[in-house]
Amino acid sequence: MGEPAALGCRVCCKSSWNQLQDLCRLAKLSCPALGVSKKNLYDFEVEYLCDYKKIREQEYYLVKWRGYPDSENTWEPRQNLKCVRILKQFHKDLERELLRRHRRSKPPRHLDPNLANYLVQKAKQRRALQRWEQELNAKRSHLGRITVENEVDLDGPPRSFVYINEYRVGEGITLNQVAVGCECQDCLLAPTGGCCPGASLHKFAYNDQGQVRLKAGQPIYECNSRCCCGYDCPNRVVQKGIRYDLCIFRTNDGRGWGVRTLEKIRKNSFVMEYVGEIITSEEAERRGQIYDRQGATYLFDLDYVEDVYTVDAAYYGNISHFVNHSCDPNLQVYNVFIDNLDERLPRIAFFATRTIWAGEELTFDYNMQVDPVDMESTRMDSNFGLAGLPGSPKKRVRIECKCGTTACRKYLF
């Protein structure tokens, strides 16, 4: 879906060179200024195909021309069309819908109006998803590309969703920048004073491959903007962002959108952050009453030490907005601290609990639980007790689980 939809999708113009020059003169336009020459004169651009028929073994397609209204659609024989990709996609959509409706894939000589209308809506949806995919990739600040796919229904891009790469801070909330950093020559092999984790009385989070080696519930302290180490420091993992190519896809079992990986992800590797608006718990309560009626589960409590703030990813978020719940997930959540050390405002990071193969859906447990970590490896805070896991999405209503795993608890909360 990453390619422009119109590549190579052109057919012959029906106006002569002289006719076009006359039209340009009447409109006081210059053909060269329009990029028109004898070489490219005979090109029209196919936007999408609307219908199909077969007459005496000759195939014809009703063509929607880019830049022209539907009233200018024309039937064209197959040999006039050079848009191979659009033709292939049209027949793929046609065959899939014929199988769904009639359990056969061979197209009839004429399509019934309902089927033709479906193909038009499918073509429009695909173009809308292509534009959305391009918008997402233009906004992302991470290495991994995003693709979008819907082969299930006619739903297009979600309305009123804005892609962001980091927290959007709500009114009255401040993210204080860290004042000091480490002075290590080698943060992994020769940390000075325990590096940034040691300065906060915690263990170094990663091995030399960037895989987390802490138990679930232990916080991660990465090097920050004040540190002497560079970009390649082994203690800079979450801050580098998503590095895997991921696909937002429409599920076929009623779970809406989901996310799958297009690459193999090794166990304990960082996958993505959960980002959105940081709001107060009071504001979260107000919004939650609205979201209850929509069955939404985008409110994620930041209750590492206190339940003061919540992340709301309903309208502002990244690809994690589309990650579904599973009672047997392949992602685990960790609290992460980098440039802001306020323990009430951790960053939320997902790491792989096992090897995840290309094509697998990514999931996390919306109602995660964890066994208490041993006392020697986790700091006991004098004010707030044992530091633990970040909160799961705000638990408000009893929602039926559709994960389908053998470990399914039947309800999300």
- Annotated binding residues: 182, 184, 187, 195-196, 223, 227, 229, 233, 255-257, 324-325, 327, 366, 401-403, 408
Alpha carbons 174 and 176: distance in angstroms, whole number: 6
> Which residues sit in the known binding site for Zn(2+)?
182, 184, 187, 195-196, 223, 227, 229, 233, 327, 401, 403, 408
**Which tokens sit at 392?**
């799961």
Report the sign of the C-alpha dihedral through residues 14, 18, 23, 29, in that order. positive
> Which residues sit in the known binding site for S-adenosyl-L-methionine?
255-257, 324-325, 366, 402
Alpha carbons 246 and 148: distance in angstroms, whole number: 9
Alpha carbons 31 and 75: distance in angstroms, whole number: 27
The H or E element containing residue 292 is: helix 281-292
Alpha carbons 222 and 204: distance in angstroms, whole number: 8
76: β partners: 61
Alpha carbons 245 and 140: distance in angstroms, whole number: 12
The HSE-up count of residue 99 (CA atoms within 13 Å, CB side) is: 7
On whether the CB atoms of residues 115 and 93 are closer than 8 A, the answer is no
Task: For residue 352, give every residue at least 6 positions away whose Cβ sits within 8 Å of its Cβ, in sequence order, or none.
Answer: 265, 266, 267, 268, 269, 271, 330, 331, 332
Q: Find how far residue 30's CA is from the centre of its chain.
A: 44
Measured in residues, the chain has a length of: 413
